[in-house]
Chain A
Amino acid sequence: MPATPDPASLQPRPGLRFAGAALGLVLPLLLALGLELAVRFGVMEGRLTPPPSKIITTLSGLVASGEWFSHAFATLKRVAFGFGIGASLGILIGALSGAMLLVRRLIDPAIQALRAVPSIAWVPLFILWFGIFETSKITLIAVGVFFPVYLGVLGAVLAVDRKIIEVGRVFRLSRFDLARRIMLPATLPALVISLRAGLGLGWMFVVAAEIMGASEGLGFLLIDGQQVGRPDLIIAAIFSFALLGFLTDWLLDHATRPLLVWRDDLSSSEGA
């Protein structure tokens, strides 16, 4: 069609887009530079507010000695197990609860009541039940991940368009095929969102679990830094959490994108 403008001209130019992203870096970089200069010229003392150069030195020291990797691995392992268990249970129970009215009537009120308990409140009980080692930590993370995933999946199943389900009925799909060929793809976008929300909470609760008592992990570095009075160590750990949290979320987002290219909403248009 001649009236259609060239799609490339509808996109912002790459150079402009890059400049837009760079604009967001100006404020944090200025702050970092200001702190660095203030400490360097003696305006600030810097013991409790370590300048960026100090943090970078600490972080690269941790990486060079390999310590960073063993802490990060310990934390990642806990998140992976907790997220895996919590998300699987959330998907399974959420789907059952969404698909069967009886199941929903039976378990949803209890789950909603448990959801009202701040998950950290379980910690003392989990320590009594599961000891102070990995089991109680992973359980806490799994509990934290379970609720957003359960809620997201339940909501997604209940929101599947009746008209689309009727298409499946007209073509005489079995209950199993209806779940596999209609319900699963129809709920997939919401499922991915709830998994990402769950992963975010997983990272939150791993910090809580490691602060309560651990001998390794990034959360241990936080407490260690506090006890030996090294704010640079604390900030290095905080940076590591931000980095890993961002990376795992990015991975989840991009790994699921090929499954969702069919969407006809804002997410499918470039630059959204």
Chain B
Amino acid sequence: MLKLDAVSRVFPGGQQALAGITLDIAEGEIVAMVGGSGCGKTTLLRLISGLDQPSAGDILVDGRTIDGPNEKVGLIFQEPRLLPWLSVAENIGFSLHHLSKAERQEKVERALLRVGLGGYGARWPRQLSGGQAQRVSIARALIAQPKVLLLDEPFSALDAFTRAALHEHLIALWEAEQPTLLLVTHDVEEAAILADRVIVMQPHPGRIFAELTVDLPRPRDRLDDRLHDVKRRILKALDGSLNDAQSTSSQNDAAAFWW
């Protein structure tokens, strides 16, 4: 349902950020992308969301090419990016401007309850904690009912407890609507606990190094041995991706790595 066909992206400066990414994600699937910095994870999400255009290759959602921001694709940024001049409720209802006020209010109210922020609608964004703000931004993206939801390291700035709570929130929200989730992260545990499939990326230029299937039932227990197995497999693949990248680049520009 989300299909990437040999997608490449060259930055205006000439640097190749992504090379030949081919990926097929099924409806309702949760896919996590892990990889060191500079392997083009965020770039890829920006292409799928339509904020940027690929230099080559095609991105298709339900068989239709993405050539700009699309109602079927939602994006949750690394930072909450709430609009400071709108209340929490107005932020969540930002995409519902075409609806009547009553309809909008009802939907927003329901969305607030679903992310566990009932009664917070009248607050300003500046009055929220980091975890609350990120939940508002998740609610804002989900309320538009996208078929594909892209998450760009959405929990990376939060503490471990808040992050664990938000993982549960996210899974609960996903179970309600079953959108396709594509999550970029550098947290191996996050990938293991959330994803059906983990894609390990490799830098310079960004490409897919390995794919792992996580065949564990939900809800997943952080202390489960099988989950630790998954984490180990991901870490091993990550190691491989970095070593491989280093050995190929060490011949020509080893000096670039001295620091």
Contact = CB atoms under 8 A, between A and B. Distances in A.
Interface in B85-144: 85-86, 94-95, 97, 124-126, 144
A171 B124 contact: no
Contact of A262 (B51, B77, B126): B126
Q: Is the interface of B mostly helix, strand, loop or mixed?
A: loop
Contacts of B84: 262-264
Contact of B75 (A170, A177, A181, A186): A170
A262 B86 CA distance: 8
Contact of A169 (B69, B74, B124): B69
Contact of B79 (A163, A170, A188, A263): A163
Nearest to A182: B83
B168 interface: no
B85 A170 contact: no
Interface string B229-256: 0000000000000000000000000000
Contact of A167 (B81, B124, B126): B81
A166 B85 contact: no
Contacts of B95: 171
B180 interface: no
Point out which of A167, A169, A188 has the most chain B C-beta atoms below 10 A from its C-beta.
A167
Interface string A164-196: 101101111000010001100110100000000
Nearest to B78: A163
B71 interface: yes
Interface string A79-111: 000000000000000000000000000000000
Contacts of B69: 169-172
B79 to A, nearest CB: 7
B81 A163 contact: yes
B118 to A, nearest CB: 19
A170 B74 contact: yes
Given A262-B124, A264-B126, A167 B83 contact: yes
Point out which of B84, B95, B97 has the most chain A C-beta atoms below 10 A from its C-beta.
B84
A169 B79 CA distance: 16
A120 B113 CA distance: 61
B49 interface: yes
B51 A166 contact: yes
A230 to B, nearest CB: 52
Contacts of B49: 170
B85 A171 contact: no
Contacts of A181: 97
Contact of A172 (B71, B86, B126): B71
Contacts of A268: 126
A122 to B, nearest CB: 38
Nearest to B141: A170
Contacts of B70: 172
Given A163-B77, A163-B79, A169 B51 contact: yes
Given A164-B83, A166-B51, 17 more contacts: A163-B79, A163-B81, A167-B77, A167-B81, A169-B51, A172-B71, A177-B97, A182-B83, A185-B83, A185-B86, A188-B85, A261-B124, A262-B84, A262-B125, A263-B84, A264-B84, A264-B125
Q: Which 10 A-B pairs have the closest CB atoms?
A: A264-B126, A185-B85, A262-B85, A171-B95, A172-B69, A170-B75, A167-B81, A262-B124, A262-B84, A170-B69
15 contacts: A164-B81, A166-B51, A166-B81, A171-B94, A171-B144, A172-B68, A177-B97, A185-B83, A188-B85, A262-B85, A262-B125, A262-B126, A263-B84, A264-B126, A268-B126
